[in-house]
Amino acid sequence: MDCKQASSLMHDYLDEDLTHGQAVELKSHLKDCSACNERFKELEQTEMVLFAAIKPRSITASDELVDRIMSQIPNQRKQQAWIGWIRKHPALTAAAMFLFVMLFSAISLWESDDQLVVKTADLDQVIINGNTVTVPSGSTIAGNLTVENGKAEIYGDVQGNLTVIDGSYYQASTAHIAGEIKSIDQALDWIWYRITDMFTEVAYK
């Protein structure tokens, strides 16, 4: 065995990684070679000194470190959970965003018109006074009558439907309404009306 081999075995010995046969070989080399013997002693001492000296004595982390760490945790967590959810459900997030935007625009649309709107083919047959729309007795409306944000008073004839949005209607005993009477005053009903209205319009055109 040469000194280089012996040196490698010395380290293996310190790593507790030496077979019995190798240990015997190394020992016989150390007996004959004083340089290696000296080196072995030094390595052994280095090993012992390292294990003993590197150990922490009185120096420790400051006490408020735990508090500092724990105070940073919850914020981190909330944000993580929120972002994590979005990352995991891209389709749901997109759908939610879409609904949110739709609802928002619908509400703003619904709230924006508080003006009186009268829709009918025979505008000359009605009397508008303030926000009251009157169909006097004796006059006839050939088609539908729609009143938004106002009061409808019917004394005469309506041959189509009467629709009142965000308002009220009064039907006199002399009145005759051939079609349906619809009174809408809730956002959801209003949206439904818009949608069905759009479809019937599309269907008629």
The residue ranges that bind another protein (CB under 8 A) are 8, 11, 14-15, 17, 39, 41-43, 45-47, 49-51, 53-62, 65-66, 68-70, 72-74, 76-77, 80
Nearer residue to another protein within complex by CB, 7 or 171:
7
Nearer residue to another protein within complex by CB, 58 or 108:
58
- Smallest distance from the beta carbon of 162 to another protein, in angstroms? 59
DSSP of 107-175: HHHHHH--S-EEEES-GGG-EEETTEEEE-TT-EESS-EEEESSEEEE-SEESS-EEEESSEEEE-TT-
C-alpha 145/C-alpha 179 separation (Å) is 10
- Smallest distance from the beta carbon of 60 to another protein, in angstroms? 6
Nearer residue to another protein within complex by CB, 7 or 149:
7
C-alpha 156/C-alpha 159 separation (Å) is 10
Nearer residue to another protein within complex by CB, 49 or 96:
49
- Smallest distance from the beta carbon of 90 to another protein, in angstroms? 18
C-alpha 102/C-alpha 106 separation (Å) is 6
